[in-house]
Amino acid sequence: MNDAVILITGASSGIGAETARQVTKAGYRVVLAARSEDRVTRLAEALGGPDRALAVHCDVNDAASQQAMVASALEHFGRIDAVFANAGMGGSPGGFSGADTAIWREMILTNIYGVGLTLRHTIEALKRTRGHLLLTGSAAGRTTIAGSMYSATKWAVSAIGYGVREELRGTGIRVTLIEPGMVDTPFFDEPPAYALKPEDVARAVLYAISQPPHVDVNEILVRPTPPLD
């Protein structure tokens, strides 16, 4: 894996940052994309500097920003072997009757439109390497949660994953939905009572991308073990 390159959106913290740490230990080079340029720059330096890690400022809601991200990755490393469309944000309390709709708008743009833009601008590079596309869905995208627009966006991510897999059938590109349950990340103001750690989800990503080319891990649903009674 010493020459393989993985691009990670939402790489400044949480699942994205921890995935970057684990895949670099496994020999991958990484492109770290996020709106927080300072954070990804520090992370890139910690992961080996320009030879092993490239920090890129990217607003996933902006098509030009995503185009520039991909261009920077290709200019720096010459290839993209895997893309982890991980950038996302949480919702607003209040349900459909009382939520802050401005937060809805930003969340829908980030969690759905942003993922679509990542696919739109990376697929051609992945076709050239017969690479791997991974998307951060959620256990919330597999069940009904009362009043949750966040859950609705993750249902959409699941649909995007299923749809792009069919579109890419025969290209050699593998597609994996990573669907964690509750994860203890900056997503929450208060730590959850029981939750996965970002490194637990990162291991799921590493498992999927480390399979031989003839193995396509379609979905990984991973939840925290409930506490003992």
The catalytic residues are: 150
Whether 149 contacts 95, CB under 8 Å: no
Question: Rounded to 5 degrees, what are φ and ψ at 88?
Answer: -170, 170
Q: Which two tokens stand for residue 61?
A: 């809601």
Q: Which two tokens stand for residue 164?
A: 């792009």
Q: How many CB atoms lie within 10 A of CB 49?
A: 10
Question: Which amino acid is present at 145?
Answer: I
CA-nearest of 107, 118, 195 to 152 is 107
182 SS3 class: coil
Question: Which amino acid is present at 131?
Answer: G
CA-nearest of 119, 115, 122, 121 to 156 is 115
What is the distance in angstroms between the CA of the first residue and the CA of the last residue of the chain? 43
Instruction: Tell me how far apart the alpha carbons of residues 28 and 162 are, in angstroms, rounded to a whole number.
Output: 26
